Structure 1
């Protein structure tokens, strides 16, 4: 049956692919975006996910337009890569506020209605970096590992109420962020992927689609890698 889905950070890359996948299966899809132009074809709400009042307003707008959020995908995220000895406190704090604190705020808002209705699906878009680590990404890795611990703890809290909480862990994915990397760094990362190519965002979206479906009601607290085998053993 069609559900009301909200994709935080749904204006490009993996988030936009997720929004399209959910819409294709018939969901009423809303996306949040912080800047630029919103994607066409979706109910879009401008929102800085680090601001609690903006996040509350976004949920209220979606509820008024499409109905209560039944599927939440937390994809909003940033990087501020640099070695630890040159990383500022703001570099660290901003990444955790955007990637992790926003997940806490969004899930708290979403689960209120899900608990009343006895059904819900939450997926956090983490990263293989959460398990393997990466040079220059102590802040990003900490935020993505935090998402996994958060998801698993919340999964235990709501498991008996018809709500599942899972994470996907994409690896090297063909996004604007990756396109901006120096070519030698891209080649270095690609060499570590057993299948020998980057993921298409639609492949990550398909994993999210499954975890948010009716068929995945017995899967919760899971971390699903979408990384071409790069994270095997982690």
Structure 2
């Protein structure tokens, strides 16, 4: 998990495999971004390239599909997520470069924010905001909005000893690096972010809490 990387000194290690969440744009040179899931028995794409024997493709809608010798045969209840040709639809959106064959994972379908008709990927906004010295942790979610469909909201854990990040500063920072639609329309300061045992942000929990007004 990329979150756990911040808790260790990566320098003594020859290689560190990262996966399970969005990979930071800025990361140590000895890290390798992996992509895979329980159904594939772990990572099958390393730094955008499929391992030997692994195939990957995207549907016209941009959904990533994988086929691998390590693929599961079925779930415990007997159901089979594979199609007749053995392809697994992952639920992630991505792009495959036609020249290099490298896969870029954009994110989970259910995490995509659509605001004013524009698509916003939370992890790209989070990566920008985390560069600000007033931000310790951040999660970006979409909240229902009567005008925009969804509005981009940044939930920020302030860095101790720093003045809290203002909405104006956050919007300027994001707009300088990403499309205008990606700029948060609201900042909410929180004490912590709910995470799984391996460090993944519980986005559904955050969406439920903050859409209902709970803070």
Both proteins in one fold, TM over 0.5 = no
In which range does the TM-score fall when normalised by the shorter chain? under 0.3
Whichever structure has more strand as a proportion of its residues is: 2
The one of the two structures with greater contact order (alpha-carbon pairs below 8 A, sep at least 6) is 1
Larger radius of gyration: 2
